Structure formats: structure tokens, C-alpha cells
Structure 1
Amino acid sequence: MKLKLTRQLIAVSCIGMLGISAFQVNKTPTAAKSLLDSLNQFHAGLVVHPDVQITTFATEPMLKNPTNMDIDSKGRVWITEAYNYRPAISGNPTNPKGDRILILEDTNGDGVADSQKIFYQSPELNAPLGIAVLDSMVIVSQSPYMWKMFDDNRDGVADRKEILFQGIGGEQHDHGAHAFTFGPDGKLYFNFGNEGKQLLDAKGKPVLDQDGDAIGPAKYKQGMVFRCNLDGSQVECLGHNFRNNFEVAVDSYGALWQSDNDDDGNKGVRINAVFEHGNYGYTDELTGAGWSANRTNIESEIPLRHWHLNDPGSMPNLLQTGSGSPTGMLIYEGNLLPPVFQGQMLHADAGPNVVRAYPVKPKGAGFEASIVNLIDGSKDQWFRPADVTIAPDGSIFVADWYDPGVGGHQAGDQTKGRIYRIAPKGHAYRVPKLDLTTPAGALAALNSPNLATRYLGYQKLKQLALAGLEEAYATEQNPRLKARALWLLIQGPQGAKYLEKAIQDSNPDFRMLGIRAMKRMPFTGWLAHAQKLQNDANPQVRRELAIALRHISAPEADALWTNLALQYEGGDRWYLEALGIGADGNWDQRFNAYAAANQLNRDVVWRARTTKSVPHLIAYVREAKPLTEKLRYFRAFDFVPGNEKSVQLMQLINESMQKEPALAMVALRHISAEYIQQNPAARKTVIGMLAKVEGNEYLELIEKYNLTEMAPSLLQDLLKGKNSRSTAKAIYSLNSGALIQQKFKTGTVAQKRAIIEGIRWQGNKESLNLLFSVVKQPSYELSVRRDAARGLGNSYPNGEDLVLKSLKNKEIPQDLIPSVVESVSKAWRKGVRLEANGYLIGALAQTKTKHPPLNDLLTQRGVIASGKKVFVDQCSMCHQVDNEGIDFGPKLSEIGSKLSREGMYMSVLHPNAGIGFGYETFELITKKGDTYQGIIVSRNETDIIMRLPGGLSQSFKTSALKSVKQLPNSMMPEGLADGMATQELVDLMEYLNTLKKK
């Protein structure tokens, strides 16, 4: 009976098992129903908004691992694949032909893709993350390149490609080059994450920004947002200091929206309204330090602290959404979906398995937003929405990476990938006919919700000299469609007329559009318009005008800015930061004009970047108010240039030391180190104040101001066992290690053991040489030698490497070998532990627990309480759950919401396959020859802060370093699970699975 199956039924059966075939299937009504029924399995675990339905458009083997998507004017779905993602780390197989760009098409109108074409495939295409289809030009982003590919003969296959930009981050890095989008002004908008770092042109030369400066770390920090012409010219940097801003979305008024990822585990994923030229606060604006570095007026909650939200100059967030791995975003300007989604962001977040909207409402000069789910995939944790795109008919398509894990550098499954379609129930997929031969047809294309179609309409209307556009603008009732026409008219021969119409419109969105357009003209050309808008009743309009004044040095600009500043209402951080952007580069003259009005607002003073603000800040911190209310003003001193602030702060300290010592201590932290080095009297005062602080603050001040006079005192603390690990670090940072060496020779047994306790963790040449000499020298007391032996391998990697070398060379006395081996018993590297154990007399090498296959492990259930104990014993020395444990690796408080069980097993069994970004292993080698390995938490041109195993952070001057390089392996040991019984491993997974978003 089975042998008599028809070819057609076999095809349908295979489709039901494996996904859509790459070949056309001739479907009868019965067969078509069977096909659609079989496709339902792919979205069975997805819950959609009640007013829409979800259908499967395509699935494996037609596509695999989709990372980004676009839909052209014909309704064809373009997909970038990442089969070859990070093979060196994940160990996954690769396709030697390279990754693919696919075109998927529904040729018979049943809503299911039945045609697949490879637009481009090449070995140099490795995990592309962005695609934008603009007629015959297709822009593809794949670090370190952004390419323009051309289909000259329009046969669906790339004929040639050119470099648009290059030099962007590391190859295959998902914090690098991201997608392009077409703006209503005819410009391209794009971004890259914090691995991008720079932008080079096709010839490898630095791209210059709107100020004529090179786009790179000398001026901008971390992730950035850009705008440019279609040919890549006239690049503008529109915002910076994001972590991993994945895709910028632009609405018809020219406003920018974006999501950003936090350092994993800190519940700080955010949605941003991007104000042009804003600093978005991922790292310290001045020092480049990470968010966890101590600072005055630090935010009380980590998700807020993560973005330096209390610092003047950091833009506020529209919304913080907790944990996640945010990816593709668009502005839905169609009318097919329910009203709650219309005009709003639609966003894919692969971490919590959702696609959602953030309905926005104006609030002062800024916004507030809520969350409405379009798709909830929490019941299927393999659902990993990578992108969301709007089709010509207004329906929504979602690309699903479909994988047990997300983020980092791994892919747990290489065979799957799905495309879903969201539309009202019963709405068939029909692509509107496109006619670009007439002005009416071109206008209809411009009005499309689909960007590829809109691009065609925009270009055709320009070719037709904007024919019919004036009438359309006059009669159009939909404001977003009217706005698109207005952008074109402003750029046309009667641009001045339509710019005037924009700034006089009753709709504030149009007045803001007018400001964004005129901002690109010379200031003298729009000064008259600005003067009409400076007293606008809408604070958002005044916000845009303030931003437009950036880098304009003219008395008229000072007067406009002053008038805008006088209208600031306290508590509107959006307005305040817009004023800051508008005064950038011209603070002295702006503040002079503002102060002359005799109506100073202390928030404006707090935001200022001029020495002229110092007397006012000093007055504020002298007020008879609780110290907690003054901390923000002390933090403001850090952003004021020059030494005038240090002079006045020193005077404040001298006056306050007796009557208000706490105030004096806070003031001390904001004097520049340069000032202390140049003023002996100030240095003496600082040293005298150290008696009033203790712990980490005491050591931080000594290191910050390089107070070498304090080294003997630190030595005494070390001998007493007072904060010994950090104290020893401070002594070495002052280049005073000779004091330790000298005291060790003459000290008592107790003092020697105290010194060993402090230096065993340092890992520099001085500390290791001392420990090693004690181990080898029989004249020292046996208890001291054993302590030194147990501490010799406590540093990574220098101490561990020294242990292996000395054991191999038989330099360790026989009776101390067990103690030396014990010193590496918890080494990160499994190979170190195994090799060291081999030197134990009569001991067998560490055996490896043979766990069942992953599929068998997934069927087992553990005991939550037992798993928590395993976590405390095995994992808490590197990870935190709800602030308990060591802050070294990623926080795991919500790991159960981010990873499926498969993903968690893979992370423990194969840690090198999924290293989270920001937790890569780096090796620093100093010019003295010391080697350190750990995680870089902040880095700028002059300083690097590295977090070492155990959670201790150490600062390095880049001038003192010989090399800095990234290593391929995770800091998490590859053999971590080998030391667990299978039941312990299962219990651990059971516990981790309970750690979910509350």
C-alpha cells in the first residue's frame, strides 16, 4: 500500500515533516488543506493578539537561521542567513560556499512560499545581519563591511557588489554592522553596536561626520546611529554610546526610534527615542568606565545605573523592558493591523520570545510608552524572532531564528528557520498592483506601508518633478502620508513655501518636521523661522529647535537658546538634555546670555559644561539641605572643564572639614588628580582626610591621587589582614612592592602569613617571585611555605602557568607538591587541573563524569533545592542570582526566561560555544612582563579596568601595557560539568529554569 503513494502526496508528507520544499507543489484543494494543516505545527506554541492570526509563510529546509529580512514591492521576502555563524567558537559545521541571501516568493497566492531563489552566496558572506532592498540595489551589512549589491538585469541574482562602508568591528560580530532603512527625507539611516568602533569608506579612509571629524572612538563612544545619502556621502552621526542598538526605525515625520541591549543579566534592555546628537550613557562620558564603576549620585537600581541616567548629558530612556536580546524594529504606518499598533514601533525581542509594540504618548518634551504584545512565544522558548518587516499589503512578517539559545556567539541548531505572517483573521496575502508610469501611481507607492515600495514612489515622484504632489498634500487627510509628501515638497523648487507651511501647521509633528528639514540648511537661511518657533506652545517643538542650535556660534543662536532655556520647566529631563545638545561647543557664550537674564534654573546649571557654572554649583552644595540632595551637583563638577572647580572645591573642603566632614569627603572625590599632583598643600589636605574613610573608598582615593606616601600605612594594614587582597593591590599600584619584599624578610611568622594572604591573588611578577622563592627556600617556617604553596596558583593565568612550569621542571620540594597542586584545584582551565593532578604521587588523574546524551538529560527532572545548593557550591564564585554571589560572569537572575533547557545545558557543557558579549577573555601583558587574564569592564585611550576571577577589579594605564589581546576561550572552564554527578547537573538545570522574569 505504501508503495502506491503518489508523488504529490509524498511531497505534501515531506513538507509536513520537514517544512516547505524549495520546489513548486501542485496543490489540489485537499492537498492544500493538508499542507496548511501541517504548517500549523510550526506556530502552535505562539500566542498572538486576539484581533489577528498567525500563519507560517516558510520554514526549513527552504531557509535556515534567518537574521534579517526585507520585503520588496512585489511582496517577495528577502532573507539573510547565518548558517556559518562563529564556527571557530561554536564548533558547528560550515558551508564552504558561504552564507546565503534568499528570495522567497508565494507565486500562487495561497500565503505560503513555494519559490526560493539564491540572490547571493559567497565564502566571504559570513553571518550578515542587515538587508535593505531599494529597487535593483540591495544593501547588505556584515561586519566589517556594508555592501551595495546590484541586480542589473533584474533576474533576482546579484550581478555585482561594491563596498559602501568598511572597517566596522570584527568579522561575524553581532555588535557590529546592522541594517539600513529608507527615511522619508530620501536618506539612508543605519547603525552599529559597540563593536563597530569606526566607519571607513570604500577606499579605507576614515569617514568624516557633519563636523568634519573622523567617526571613531576619539569622538564617539560605543554603538552609534547614522544618516547618509544613498551613495554613502554626507554621513552624519546622530547619536552614540549605545551598547548593541540593533536596528533604527524612522517614522514619516523624521523621528528616530531604537532598542538597545544591556550587559546580559541586568534587566536593563531599553527602548529609546533618539534625539539627534544625544549621548545615551552606556559608558561614562568622560572616562569610558563601565556602568558598574563607582560614582557620586549613582543610581539606586542596576537597570537605571546601567545607562548613567543620573549623569548630566545622558539621555533618558523611553522605556526599560527588563531582560532580553532585542533585534529588528519598524514603525508600523499601515492600517491593516488593529489601531493599537498603527503608527507605533513593532519590535522583535528574541530573549523573552516576543514581538511587541510600544504605544507612545507625548509627555512634556519627551514621551512615555507601554507594552502590547503582538506575538508571545513564552510557551515555545525556541521561538527567537530576529526581525519584523511590513509587507505591501500592511501585513507583518516575522523572521524566526528558532534556536534553544540566543545572543553570545553560538547557534544550538543550524537546520531550522521560520517566517510567519501576521494579519487580521481571514485576510489573504495580496500584493497591491504597482503602476509607476503615472503621478497617481507613484503617489500610491509613496503612500505604501512597505519601505521598498515607498522608495520607488519617492524616486519616481522626483523624476516626475513632483507632479501631482502639491494637490495630494493639500487634500490628504492622513497626517503621516501628508508628511511624506511634505518632505519631497520642501526639497523641491518651492521648498521655502512648504517649509513655511510646515512650521505654521497646527499639528506639532509637522512643525518638528519643518525644524528637522531646515536644520540641514545654513543658519542664516532658517533664523527667521526659528524666531517664529522659539515661543511655541508645544515643548516638543521647542525641544527640536534647541537641538537644531547645536554647534551654531552666533549671537542670534545664543539669544534663541536663552529664550528656550527660560521656558524650561523643572523635571523635564528630555527638554533639559535637548538644551544641552543645543549648547554643545558653545557653552560659555550660551551660559553668559542665559545668566544675564537673572532667571537661573539650577537644573540648567547642573547640565552646563562651563567654568561659569562653578560658583553657582558651589552655592548649591553650601545650602543647608541634606547631603543626599546635593550629590547631583557634586557629580556635575566632573563634567566642568578646567581647574577652577578644584580650587573652589578645595576651599569648600577646608571650610567644611570640621563642621560638615561628610560634605568635605564628597567634595574630595571631585578634585582632579592633576590638581592634587601640582599642589602640595592640597595633597597634604587629602592625606589628612584619609583617616576619615575606610575600606574600598580609602583605597580608591589613594590610587586615584597616587598617594605614594601612604604605602607604609597600607603595609601595616596588610600585616593586620585588613582588606588584604585589595590592600596588596593598592601597594603594587603605587609601585611600592619593595616594601612588601623587605618586610617579608624581617617579619614574624604571623606577618609573613598575612602578606601571603594578600599577595596570593595578585599574579604580578613581584608577588609570584616572592611566593615561589618561599616555596623553594627551606629556611622559612613550614607553615609559611605551605601557605605560599597553596597560594602559588591562585592567580590566572600567571600563577597557574608557574605551577605547571615548576612542577614540570621539578622545582617544587616533594613534600609541598600536594599544596601546590591544591592551589590550582579550582583553576579555570581544566587542562591545568588535570596536568597538576598528574604530579601527585599515587594519585589518579581527575576522571570525567560520563553524562547521558543531551536528549536523555532533557527528559530528567531535578530537585530545585538541591540545584540551588549546587549553584552555591559550583557557580556562585563567578555568577550572581539576585545580587548573591560573585559579580564576575553574567548575572543569572532571569536566565530561565532567556534560555531554554537545551540552551542552559549547552552553556554549561560547552561554554566556549556561547561566550556572551562583554564577557570575552582578554589578556593584558604589562611592560614589566606581568600577564593578566580577565574581563575588560571599561576601556578608553588612557585606562583599562579588568575584572579578574573572583570579582576583583584592577586598573591599568594603557601606557604601562605591552599588549592587549582577546583570547578565544570562555573564562568559564570547559570541564565544569565533569566534576558533577549527573543528578547534580540535572538539579542545577532545574533550579536555573526557575530563575525567570518576575
Structure 2
Amino acid sequence: GIGNEKLRPYQQFMPNRHKFRVGGTGISGLAFADDTSGSYPEEFRDVAFLANPITSTINCVKIVRNLDGTITAEHLPDLLKSKDDWFRPVNIEFGPDGCLYIADWYNKIVSHNEVATTHPDRDKTHGRIWRIRHKSQKPRSIPNLYKASNKDLVTHLQSPSHWQKRAAAFQIADRQAKELVPTLTKLVTNTSVEKTARIHTLWALEGLDAYDQKTITTLLTDKDGDIRREAVRALETFKLSPDETAALLSPLITDKNVMVRSQIIRTLEFRGKANNKTIDILVSFCHPAAPNNNMGGGYEQNFERYLARRALERYPSELKAYLATAEAAKHPEEKRVWAQQALGKQAAGSFAQQWKTLSKKPLDKDTLVIVSGRSGDQSVQKLVQPYFANPKNAKHIAQIALKHAADAYAPAVGYPLAETAMTLVRSGKKEDIILGLQLARTYRITHLCPEFAKLISAAKDETLKREIIASLSHLPKGFAMQFLALVNDASNSKNVRIDALSALVQAQGDQSVLTVQKFLADHPADQSAIINALGNTTQGNHVLLILVASKKLTTADIPLAVAERINHLYKNDPAAKHIHQQVTAAHKKQLDKDVARIAKLEQQFATKSGNPTTGKILFSGMCLTCHVVGEEGNGIGPALDGSAKRDTNHLLTAIINPDAAAENAYILYRVIESSGIITEGLKSKQDKRGVSIAQQGGAITFIAKRTVKDQHHVGSSSFMPTGLISSMPDNTVIDILTYIRSLK
């Protein structure tokens, strides 16, 4: 879907098809040489031409979808590589003459989010269109098909030009040239005619609504899978009865061509009418989830079950009636269970029957989502309780639930998952206890907090103590004494005491000011860590505001991110405004120094190369926590492949001042929970269940909607922090630049 969103929660994304990358962060056009002759020669068959404005190239990738669903791909040499850095291909198309046309944006600046929209280097008046002809091509006359006779349109359907075929098919349909039906029928079934000519002829027959059962039956049994697929698709257009449709499609449900099988499901979905026979076909595609999502097996199985359930959602009354028939009972129980999910919420008795099948296998995402959807029913909770409380299942359940929280969360699913969490906590094993705490925290199972508080006295490990504190911080007010004891216990690590102090402030609010003040005085070396920790909660930000107002802290002690939170939370407080103004002014002063440094660094880089090996080490530790290059990195931010083509000034600007041209998709997002916890990062997903926030390093935090008090983008601030290289010496920056400019 748009924005890489799933069309349904249970949809599987297609896995990576190959390991190579063509470079750059975005492709702006795709074209294939589809003409059978007179255009690019046979060596370019199945070659995707890719317009790559980042690297100023036209890339070539030969790609073939095999019958079993696997994909064969090969990265070929580029068709075009320009020495002109302003060459920015943003669209690409083969014309009627069989030549390749390229729309060239012609701009020094490579993308809209590299520098500010007001940057003087942005060219807003020039542009070019290029035409590339293969040396073997001969000039081709372009017919005016508006003036062609109906009889001649049949000839144009057989032209080697893909454009002529398509235009002729459209003309026949627009003119409703029904006298051509006998000729078109002979043409479409003639196996000696080139495949794409036959497919366009079928399109013309569809446009004329010229259905002939003998013709369609012939096409459905054709040796060519693409012909069979198009014949299956055409059945939707011809609007046959469900009985007729089922009779034609039933022999194809085990077709070896995966595209034919998936088209059967789509045709039945979009036909808009169903009966027991067509529903039976759809249920046959309700496969169990595959153990993997690999192309050529697992992905196709998962994709077909997704399409089948989506199609069945269109026919709830027909599906419900079908499931009560003897024909339905012939399908394996697991297929019927998956089909039943298309009905949405069902009675507990229906779920009880499904659970007999679901509980026989290890929990997977789909089963968890099913249980979650029914968990509001107390009889369902009671039914699944033994499974979720079973120590043999607990670890696996927790891992699945944590991995898929954004898809499976519902408030009531916390009850069966609470059984899992407590089973893990009671095990006494550190790693299991931590897993149980994380499970309860992610699903906001706060009624277990009193049980978790009992773990503090016996906990010796720093990691375990921090996990306990993190869990209790979602319901902090009842545990102030425990937090205070952890703060005052000098045997605890610095991190444990700071975490406990922040949680104490959540619990006590302004009453904790003196405790915080004393802790700061006793631990001056940890002041920065303490302030940052307090800045992660609403209560902590108010305590910091009080301490600055009472001059126990200065505005210079407050980081910009914390100052922005204080200003947002207490925007009507003059002291908050003062802090924000002072901190922002200091930040701008430093930023101005950094921006002024760009010219110096640019000059040094032009005359002296750095050490790319050193640069790569620094780049990997600093940049790949968010960005990706090739197969390395976390992929939260844009890919940096193709940075060799980026202007040095623009590149330095993007690093030093990312807020200057932050793209909407990469604006910092803030979520404030009712407990006071503040989470900031990149919004990766949001729906009725909650919001997922991606953070540096690749971690994604799911926050349930019911706990969210406020959420918003943080002005125009980029997710990428400013000041990354403020303290770096020039030589170090040059090393990083040298490596970045090596990324093809």
C-alpha cells in the first residue's frame, strides 16, 4: 500500500529479491523494452531500465519471475552514466518509435530534502528530454490509429510495437467494432501468433464484451502461463454466473504457475458474486502459514492465504452458509479456521472449536492476533489460560508477542499474556524474568506491578534491577518507597540509581525536588545523565523547570531536546519560555559556528583526501545506527548509497544542520503517555492499536493507544540530531567525507 503500509494486517511483505543494490536512495522511473522487434535488441529482453537521479545514471537489471515464484535477477552494466552532475533522470518511457525517452530534471541539487527549498542552487527553470536510440534501430513510421480502419486495427494488434498493440486494442473497444469479433476470436486462439498480440486481442474482446465459452476454455488450457493468467482475469470482466466461473476455474487451482493461481483468487474476489462452489475454491487456498517467507514456496503460500481471506471478507453471508455444509468439512480443519477469520468477531462457541486446532501447534503471529481479537470475551480468556500459563510454551509465546505487539495488541489480551509473564517471572531464571517483565511492559499489564516490586529485594543484577524499574515506571505512584530505597542505596550502580530517581520523580512529582537537588549535588559528574533521564518524563521536566527557576541549575545545563520538551509541556509558564529562548539561542550560536565551518571543510576536502578506512569505522558507528548502505545498517533513515554524487557543500549541510530541509517522513515524533513517560523518535507505524516509534540503533517501541496522552511531530526538527560533528577535529570530518564520497 501507500507509504509501505500493509493492505491488511495479516498480509506478508515480499522478501528481498536479491542482494545487489543499484546505488542511490530512490528510483524515479522504470521501463522495459517490450517491442518484439524494431526497438532494443533481444539482449535487452526482460531488462528493467531504472531512472536513478541520485547517481545520474540509467541502471539496468535483468529480472524474470519464474513459474514457481522465484525471481532471477542480475545487475547489468549501466545503460548511461553521465559525467554531468546535474543530470537527474526523473521519468523514463519507451516511445511509439521504440526509442527510450528520459525526462531530465537537470538540477544541481539531488533531492528535495537535501538543503532548504530556498537554497540558491535550486534550478527551477531548466529541464531536458533525452531520446536514446539503439544503433541497430531503423527509423519507424508512427501510424495515426485514430484514422485507421477497423480492419487495419487487427493488423496493428499484431505489430511488433507494444504501443501499437495497446492503442489498437483501445481503439477497437472505443469504437465498439463488434464486426471484428470472429477475426479476433481466431487471432486470440492462434498459438502461432506472438503472445503479447494474443493478450491485447483478448483485451479488445473484453472491451467488446464478446464472451465465448469455447474461446475462454481454449485459453484457460493454453500452454503459456501468461495466456492462462489473462484468461482467468478476463472472467471478471465477462461477469459469468458463480457456477459457470467455478466450473472454468476449478481445474486450475493446482496450476504450477503461481501467477495463475493468485489471479484465480483475485478474479473470484472482484467478481462480486459468490456461491458455495466459488467459496469452496477460495477456502482451498486458505493454506496454513508457511514456515518461511522465501520466494518460490513460503511467500507464495502466505500470499495465497492472504488473498483468499481478503476475498472471503467480501462474502460473509455466503461463507457462513458454506461452512455449515458437508463440502466444507472435506477441507482440513486448519483451512476452515483461517477462512472463519474472514467473518470477523464470532461467538465464543465458534472460537472454542477453532482453538482445538490452533492450540495443537506453537503460537504464531496469526494465532496470537486471532486470540487477541477474541480476548474481550471472558470465556475465551478462560479457554486459552492453560495454554498461555504452560511453562513449556511461555518463552515462545513471549517472544512471538513481543515481536508482533503492533499487530496483536488489545487491552484484553493482557489477561492471557499476564499468565505467560508471571510463569516466566516465577521461573527464577534471570533471562526468563526479564522476558516476562518486557512482555508485561509492552502490553501495559500494570496489574502485575505489585508482583514485580517484590522482585527488588532479591535482585542483584544491574540489568534485572533496571528492567524492574522500567516496568514499575508505567504505574509509578504506588512504588515511591521502593524507588527511594534504590536511589539511596550506594551499592547500586549509577544507572540503577538514576533510573530509580527518574521513577521516583514520576511517583512524587514536585515533592521530589529536594531529593533530586541533593542527588545532583552529591553526583556532579553525573549531572548530564541525570538531567537527560529526568527529561524523559513530564514530571521530571517540571522538576527541572523548578530547579532552573530557583537557580539550582542554569539554562546552560539543559540540553536542547529537554528545553523543547519543557517549552511544549509548560508553554504558558514564563520560566519555561525563558529556558527555551536561552537554550535555543545558545544552540543557534553553535550551529552558526558549525555552518560557517562548512566552507573551510569544503576547501580542505577539495585539496586533501582523508583516510577512507578510518572514515568507514567512524561512519559505521555513527551513521549506520539509522541509515543503510548496501546490506549494512538499520534502514530507519534513507539509504546513503550513491553519496559519491552528492555535492560536498550539500552533504556537509545535511550532516551539520539536518533541520534545514527535513522531509516530513523524517520529522521527529513525540509520544507522551499518561504515566508521564516521553518517547521520541521516528514514527514507523500508527493505527487503532497504537503507535510504533523507531529509535537510533534500530529498536522499535510500541506504545498502546490507550496509554497515550499526547502525540505530535516536534515542529520541523529532523529525527537526525544536529551537532554530530561539532566536537570533531577537521581531519576526522575529512576522513568521514572521504568514505561517504566513495559510496557509489
Give the TM-score of the pair, scaled to structure 1.
0.56
| Residue 42 of structure 2 is aligned to residue 326 of structure 1 | no
| Residue 124 of structure 2 is aligned to residue 386 of structure 1 | no
Is the contact between residue 326 and residue 349 of structure 1 (CA under 8 Å) also seen in structure 2?
A: yes
Q: What residue number does 1:732 align with?
A: 473
What is the CA RMSD across the aligned residues, in angstroms?
5.2
Q: What residue number does 2:734 align with?
A: 986
CA distance in 1, matches of 2:680, 2:256: 57
Match for residue 527 of structure 1 among 232, 246, 271 = 246
CA distance in 2, matches of 1:495, 1:781: 83
Q: What residue number does 2:122 align with?
A: 414
SS of match in other structure, 1:693: helix
SS of match in other structure, 1:509: helix
* 1:492 to 1:877, Cα distance in 2 relative to 1, 3 A: closer
| Residue 193 of structure 2 is aligned to residue 193 of structure 1 | no
For residue 577 of structure 1, report the CA deviation from its aligned partner.
Answer: 2.4
Is the contact between residue 422 and residue 436 of structure 2 (CA under 8 Å) also seen in structure 1?
A: no
CA distance in 2, matches of 1:680, 1:399: 58
Match for residue 924 of structure 1 among 644, 659, 671 = 671
Q: What residue number does 2:437 align with?
A: 699
For residue 736 of structure 1, report the CA deviation from its aligned partner.
Answer: 1.9
CA distance in 1, matches of 2:194, 2:43: 16
CA distance in 1, matches of 2:743, 2:112: 19
Bigger drift between 394-403 and 800-809 goes to 800-809
* 1:759 to 1:394, Cα distance in 2 relative to 1, 3 A: farther
Match for residue 297 of structure 2 among 555, 559, 571 = 571
* 1:939 to 1:718, Cα distance in 2 relative to 1, 3 A: farther
Q: What residue number does 1:439 align with?
A: 150
Is the contact between residue 558 and residue 590 of structure 1 (CA under 8 Å) also seen in structure 2?
A: no
Bigger drift between 574-583 and 851-860 goes to 851-860
Matched letter for residue 548 of structure 1? T
Is the contact between residue 284 and residue 331 of structure 2 (CA under 8 Å) also seen in structure 1?
A: no
SS of match in other structure, 2:671: strand
Is the contact between residue 33 and residue 45 of structure 2 (CA under 8 Å) also seen in structure 1?
A: yes
Is the contact between residue 506 and residue 540 of structure 2 (CA under 8 Å) also seen in structure 1?
A: no
CA distance in 2, matches of 1:878, 1:767: 36
* 1:898 to 1:423, Cα distance in 2 relative to 1, 3 A: same
CA distance in 2, matches of 1:647, 1:899: 60
Q: What residue number does 1:554 align with?
A: 275
| Residue 703 of structure 2 is aligned to residue 956 of structure 1 | yes
Which structure has more helix as a fraction of its residues?
2
For residue 406 of structure 1, report the CA deviation from its aligned partner.
Answer: 5.0
Q: What residue number does 1:471 align with?
A: 183
Matched letter for residue 100 of structure 2? I
CA distance in 2, matches of 1:905, 1:800: 35
Match for residue 365 of structure 2 among 624, 628, 635 = 635
CA distance in 1, matches of 2:390, 2:416: 21
* 1:695 to 1:381, Cα distance in 2 relative to 1, 3 A: farther
Q: Map residues 664-743 of structure 1 onto 2, 5 A cutoff.
A: 674-677=412-415, 685=423, 688-689=426-427, 691=429, 693-694=431-432, 697-703=435-441, 704=443, 705-706=445-446, 707-713=448-454, 721-722=462-463, 727-733=468-474, 735-740=475-480, 743=483
For residue 373 of structure 1, report the CA deviation from its aligned partner.
Answer: 4.8
Matched letter for residue 421 of structure 1? R
SS of match in other structure, 2:426: helix
CA distance in 1, matches of 2:287, 2:515: 70
Q: What residue number does 1:619 align with?
A: 360
CA distance in 2, matches of 1:372, 1:883: 19
For residue 553 of structure 1, report the CA deviation from its aligned partner.
Answer: 5.0
Q: What residue number does 1:934 align with?
A: 681
CA distance in 1, matches of 2:231, 2:506: 63
* 1:801 to 1:605, Cα distance in 2 relative to 1, 3 A: closer
Which structure has more strand as a fraction of its residues?
1
CA distance in 1, matches of 2:469, 2:99: 63
Is the contact between residue 580 and residue 608 of structure 1 (CA under 8 Å) also seen in structure 2?
A: no
Is the contact between residue 114 and residue 650 of structure 2 (CA under 8 Å) also seen in structure 1?
A: no
Structure 2: gaps (5+ residues): 291-295, 343-350, 565-577
Is the contact between residue 388 and residue 419 of structure 2 (CA under 8 Å) also seen in structure 1?
A: no
Q: What residue number does 2:63 align with?
A: 359
For residue 919 of structure 1, report the CA deviation from its aligned partner.
Answer: 2.6
SS of match in other structure, 2:597: coil
For residue 391 of structure 1, report the CA deviation from its aligned partner.
Answer: 0.5
Task: Give CA-to-partner distance per residue, 1:698-717, whole Å, 9 cap, x none.
Answer: 33212123322344146559
* 1:344 to 1:482, Cα distance in 2 relative to 1, 3 A: farther
Task: Give CA-to-partner distance per residue, 1:460-513, whole Å, 9 cap, x none.
Answer: 653152454642563472221221121121332532355445334443322211
Is the contact between residue 443 and residue 469 of structure 1 (CA under 8 Å) also seen in structure 2?
A: no
Bigger drift between 633-642 and 780-789 goes to 780-789
Is the contact between residue 359 and residue 372 of structure 1 (CA under 8 Å) also seen in structure 2?
A: no
Is the contact between residue 169 and residue 200 of structure 2 (CA under 8 Å) also seen in structure 1?
A: no
Q: What residue number does 2:488 align with?
A: 748
Q: What residue number does 1:824 align with?
A: 559
Is the contact between residue 711 and residue 736 of structure 1 (CA under 8 Å) also seen in structure 2?
A: no
* 1:962 to 1:737, Cα distance in 2 relative to 1, 3 A: same
Task: Give CA-to-partner distance per residue, 1:236-265, whole Å, 9 cap, x none.
Answer: xxxx55xxxxxxxxxxxxxxxxxxxxxxxx
SS of match in other structure, 1:962: strand
* 1:791 to 1:934, Cα distance in 2 relative to 1, 3 A: same
Is the contact between residue 394 and residue 420 of structure 2 (CA under 8 Å) also seen in structure 1?
A: no
Q: What residue number does 1:170 align with?
A: none
Structure 1: gaps (5+ residues): 1-191, 195-221, 224-239, 242-278, 280-284, 287-311, 622-632
For residue 937 of structure 1, report the CA deviation from its aligned partner.
Answer: 2.6
CA distance in 1, matches of 2:580, 2:289: 63
SS of match in other structure, 1:921: strand
Q: What residue number does 2:567 align with?
A: none
Is the contact between residue 893 and residue 995 of structure 1 (CA under 8 Å) also seen in structure 2?
A: yes
Q: What residue number does 1:513 align with?
A: 230
For residue 389 of structure 1, report the CA deviation from its aligned partner.
Answer: 0.6
| Residue 205 of structure 2 is aligned to residue 489 of structure 1 | yes
For residue 693 of structure 1, report the CA deviation from its aligned partner.
Answer: 3.4
Matched letter for residue 502 of structure 1? L
Q: What residue number does 2:347 align with?
A: none
Matched letter for residue 518 of structure 1? L
Give the TM-score of the pair, scaled to structure 2.
0.72
Match for residue 783 of structure 1 among 478, 500, 522 = 522
For residue 540 of structure 1, report the CA deviation from its aligned partner.
Answer: 4.1
CA distance in 1, matches of 2:600, 2:515: 47
CA distance in 1, matches of 2:694, 2:96: 50
SS of match in other structure, 1:360: strand
Match for residue 792 of structure 1 among 523, 531, 540 = 531
SS of match in other structure, 2:130: strand
Q: Map residues 124-523 of structure 1 onto 2, 5 A cutoff.
A: 193-194=2-3, 222-223=4-5, 240-241=6-7, 285=9, 313-315=12-14, 322=21, 324-334=25-35, 335=37, 336-342=39-45, 345-351=48-54, 353-364=57-68, 367-373=71-77, 375=79, 377=81, 383-402=87-106, 409-410=113-114, 413-415=121-123, 417-425=127-135, 427=137, 432-437=142-147, 438-443=149-154, 449=161, 454-455=166-167, 458-459=170-171, 461-463=173-175, 465-468=177-180, 470-471=182-183, 474-475=186-187, 477-497=193-213, 498-520=215-237, 521=239, 523=242
Is the contact between residue 404 and residue 902 of structure 1 (CA under 8 Å) also seen in structure 2?
A: no
Q: What residue number does 1:75 align with?
A: none
CA distance in 1, matches of 2:64, 2:650: 34
* 1:439 to 1:448, Cα distance in 2 relative to 1, 3 A: farther
SS of match in other structure, 2:246: helix
| Residue 611 of structure 2 is aligned to residue 863 of structure 1 | yes
Is the contact between residue 793 and residue 802 of structure 1 (CA under 8 Å) also seen in structure 2?
A: no
Is the contact between residue 821 and residue 836 of structure 1 (CA under 8 Å) also seen in structure 2?
A: yes
Match for residue 260 of structure 2 among 518, 524, 541 = 541
Matched letter for residue 559 of structure 1? D
Task: Give CA-to-partner distance per residue, 1:665-702, whole Å, 9 cap, x none.
Answer: 66887998625537997786465357563476333212
CA distance in 2, matches of 1:591, 1:824: 65
CA distance in 2, matches of 1:807, 1:666: 42
Q: What residue number does 1:905 align with?
A: 652
Task: Give CA-to-partner distance per residue, 1:324-375, whole Å, 9 cap, x none.
Answer: 4133224532131122434664433445644324431423256544444552
* 1:572 to 1:700, Cα distance in 2 relative to 1, 3 A: closer
SS of match in other structure, 1:908: helix
